[in-house]
Amino acid sequence: MSPQPPTAPGADHLIVVEDPDVQIEHYPEDWIAFALFWLMAFVVFLQFFSRYILNSSFAWTEEIARYLLMWVTFVGSAVAMRRRSHIAVEVLHQFLPAPAVRLLNFLIDVIVLGFVALLVWFAWQVTERMEIQRMTVFDLSMSIVYGGILVGCLLMLWRAGQMFIANARRGWRPDPARQGLIID
């Protein structure tokens, strides 16, 4: 019989931690970004295939891939707005007293909402003004391209408004779901 290794007090039982069930939620901007991304990937693959395999590049693929990338960027920004994963500096939250943090959170929300509303306004203006401009390889209006950007900006404004309302209901106190992200 071999000797037993020494154990720490209370180590005679095993603690099993169960993770909560992960729920994957799908939102409209997730599906739009997913579809646009894979459409862009197909167009880029088609460009690669036509240029290096067929030795005769399709002229339209580069321009369309560029437009799809613009759409993915702005729709993806709406996804990031919903997830609250845009880059933020939260160092002041560590050093300010609670009432000042609430005021700071309110000001940040107002600035974000105003900035995104301004993006919507500019996207609307550019979309209207680009109606007479035509794409290089297709005889289509450039307002189609900027209309996709406008859709992404509108989705961002919708999510920023939802975030503003949720933060207002909480009184601009720190989000309990994000507390684990700040290291003490």
pLDDT at 13 over 70: no
User: Mean pLDDT in the chain?
Assistant: 87
3-state secondary structure of 119: helix
Of 3 and 97, the structure prediction assigns the larger pLDDT to 97
**Residue 149: is it exposed, middle or buried by C-beta count within 10 angstroms (0-12/13-18/19+)?**
buried
Could you list the residue range(s) of the whole structural domain that residue 155 is in?
Answer: 28-83+96-173
Cα Rg of the chain (Å, integer)? 25
Show Cβ contacts of residue 14 under 8 Å, excluding neighbours closer than 6 positions: none
Examine the pLDDT at 96 and tell me if it is beyond 90.
no
> Is residue 5 situated within a structural domain?
no
Cα torsion 128, 159, 115, 119 to 10°: value is -20
At 9 the pLDDT is 58
The tally of domains found in the chain comes to 1
pLDDT tens per residue, range 32-53: 999 999 999 999 999 999 999 9
Q: Is residue 16 part of a domain?
A: no
pLDDT at residue 117, as a whole number:
98
Q: Does any domain span residue 118?
A: yes
In a domain, 182, yes or no: no
Calculate the CA dihedral of residues 77, 79, 84, 90 and round it to 10 degrees. Answer: -30
User: What is the structure's pLDDT at 72?
Assistant: 97
Q: Is residue 117 part of a domain?
A: yes
- Whether 144 maps to a domain, the answer reads yes
As a whole number, mean pLDDT of residues 15-23 equals 73
Mean pLDDT, residues 154-162 taken together: 96
Q: What is the band of 184 on the pLDDT scale with cuts at 50, 70, 90?
A: very low
In a domain, 42, yes or no: yes
The pLDDT of 125-150, averaged and rounded, is 94
Q: Can you give the pTM of this predicted structure?
A: 0.79
Q: What angle do CA 142, 70, 130 make, to 5 degrees?
A: 20
Residue 134 β-bridge partners: 141
- What is the 3 state secondary structure string of 3-39? CCCCCCCCCCCCCCCCCCCCCCCCCHHHHHHHHHHHH
65 is a domain residue: yes
pLDDT score recorded for residue 11: 56
Tokens encoding 167: 């933060």
Question: How does residue 3 score in pLDDT terms, banded at 50, 70 and 90?
Answer: low
